[in-house]
Amino acid sequence: MPAAFPARRTVRRTAAAAVTAALLLPLAACGSDDDSGSGKDGGGKDVKLTVLAASSLTDVFATAEKAYEKEHPGTDLTVSAAGSQELAAQVKQGAPADVLVTADTKTMDGLKGETGEPTVIARNRLVIATREGNPDKVKGLKDLGDSKLKVVLADDTVPVGRYSKQVLDKQGVDVKPVSKEPNVRSVLSKVELGEADAGIVYRTDAATAPGKVDAIEIPDAQNAVAAYPAATLKSSENSEAAAAFVKWLSTPGAQKILRGAGFQKP
């Protein structure tokens, strides 16, 4: 949970304060007209921002968080990652936050009354994650229909679960998963721990577990493309700073971080 916002300081309206303000006005006029990148709110206070981000953004947003705070002194950024459907539920319940980034446009579109105009900041594709060395010789989607194979998928309410169902149905593959997980990281974890032989995850998630899982590519013609929209939350108490962060996600610096983690261009 984000820390409570500091209370407003009481300003004493004394003659001395008025004189001081008058003396400072010319100096302020010489400064920058744009404080959007300073990490300060309209009153010059430090800003605390809470970003609700899809599970597949866990690692890359940890890097983005450090980069943003370095570029915007005075901003304390907190990233809370979970399945997109969980994040949507938090928003609807009024959880205090400033920015939302989901792994699909459907979830974001369902929150139109709660968010500003969304901007797609990245895209992703699916892969089949198998145990290290791919001992079961999984070559493609059709192999996941083998009843001898323990396959784990994300629940259909989760973006990656919907994408998985979409690609499997398109290929006519009937999979009876040993479990349906609440987010993509849980699917990856099941495969990493050997509790499943294979699972469908995003390419970027498989890349976070080198030496623990193998990633079997799914041909583009059989694959699905996930879009990641970002938007400010109307309930944010730091709307300007929230908008600045969303805008930053499309800058060359932020996009370089996303590309480095394997995400594709918007």
pLDDT in tens, 68-118: 999 999 999 999 999 999 999 999 999 999 999 999 999 999 999 999 999
Q: What is the pLDDT of residues 74-84, one digit of tens each?
A: 999 999 999 99
Measured distance CA(192)–CA(196) in Å, rounded: 8
> For residue 37, with 0-12 CB atoms within 10 Å meaning exposed, 13-18 middle and 19 or more buried, which class applies?
middle
pLDDT of 2 over the 80 cut: no
β pairing state of 213-217 and 225-232:
unpaired
Residue 173 CB contacts under 8 Å (≥ 6 apart), including other chains: 141, 142, 144, 145
Q: Which two tokens stand for residue 167?
A: 């690609």
Sign of CA dihedral 163, 164, 167, 169: negative
pTM for the model stands at: 0.82
For 99, the 3-state DSSP assignment is: strand
CATH 3.60.150.10 fits 125-225, yes or no: no
Residues 96 and 1 sit within 8 Å (Cβ to Cβ) = yes
Answer yes or no: are the C-beta atoms of 222 and 141 closer than 8 Å. Answer: yes
**pLDDT tops 80 at residue 12:** no
Q: Does domain 36-123+227-260 have CATH number 3.40.190.10?
A: yes
Domain with CATH 3.40.190.10 in the chain: 36-123+227-260, 125-225
